[in-house]
């Protein structure tokens, strides 16, 4: 750490030389050699002690400050279908309309209005007429039928 060898006086200082402290040169060199060996051969820690130090460190370590990624929860069939469709967000815009359309379609199938039933019957030109209303539509103009009905006439 030569960079730290600065005294208050400002002069640089390496290791004291033998002459600085009253040692002869040979004694100083021999001591320096011993010190160098000591630096190269530090006391060795046992492996068990090293592992104990690491265990201490981990035991006292604060928990991570970052939030771990949440584990995805197991999802049901409905959620999986939603995911396949593009997620709930994608479904959101169409869900209301789809449900309404489905209900309306179901109701029309069970109890169709009479006018609608007659119209659908006409869409099949070869089908036999099954009732009087249908027979009337076959021979007259629809507007005349409505007019007569409004006037209370039997037809």
Partner 1 sequence: MFRKTFSRGRAPDARSTVAPATERPRPDPDAELLLRYAQGDAAAASELTQRLGPKAFGVAFRVLGDRAEAEDVAQEALLRLWKAAPDWDRASAEEDGDDTKGKAKVSTWLYRVVMNLSIDVKRRRRGGSVDLDAIPEPADDSRSAADMMQDGARQEALQAALMQLPERQRRAVVLRHIEGLGNPEIAEILDVSVEAVESLTARGKRALAKLLVTRKAELGYHDG
Among 11, 47, 57, 84, interactor with partner 1 by CB under 8 A? 57
Q: Which lies closer to partner 1 via its Cβ, residue 12 or residue 77? A: 12
What is the number of other CB atoms lying within 10 angstroms of the CB of residue 28? 18
Quick one: which segment of 41-49, 81-89, 109-117, 131-139 binds partner 1 (CB under 8 A)?
Answer: 41-49
* Residue 129 · residue 135 · CB < 8 Å: yes
**Minimum Å distance from CB 48 to partner 1?**
9
Q: Which lies closer to partner 1 via its Cβ, residue 30 or residue 79? A: 30
User: 3: which DSSP letter?
Assistant: G
- Under the criterion CB under 8 A, does residue 5 sit at the interface with partner 1? yes
- Under the criterion CB under 8 A, does residue 21 sit at the interface with partner 1? yes
- 28 Cβ neighbours under 8 A, 6+ residues apart: 17, 18, 19
What distance in Å separates the CA atoms of residue 83 and residue 75, rounded to the nearest whole number?
A: 10
Burial class from Cβ neighbours inside 10 Å (0-12, 13-18, 19+) for residue 70 reads exposed
Contacting positions for partner 1 (CB under 8 A): 1-8, 10, 13, 15-16, 20-35, 37-39, 41-43, 45, 49-50, 52-54, 56-58, 60-66
């Amino acid at each position: 750490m030569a960079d730290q060898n600065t005294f208050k006086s400002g002069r640089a200082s390496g290791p004291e030389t033998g002459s600085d402290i009253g040692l002869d040169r040979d004694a100083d060199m021999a001591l320096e050699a011993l010190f160098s060996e000591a630096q190269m051969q530090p006391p060795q820690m046992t492996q068990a002690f090293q592992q104990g130090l690491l265990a201490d460190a981990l035991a006292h370590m604060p928990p991570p400050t970052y939030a771990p990624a949440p584990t995805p929860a197991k999802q049901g069939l409905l959620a999986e279908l939603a995911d396949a469709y593009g997620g709930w967000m994608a479904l959101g815009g169409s869900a209301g309309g789809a449900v309404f359309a489905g209900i309306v379609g179901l109701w029309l199938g069970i109890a169709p209005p009479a006018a609608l039933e007659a119209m659908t019957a006409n869409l099949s030109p070869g089908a036999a007429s099954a009732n009087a209303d249908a027979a009337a539509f076959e021979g007259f103009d629809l507007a005349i039928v409505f007019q007569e009905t409004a006037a209370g006439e039997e037809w």
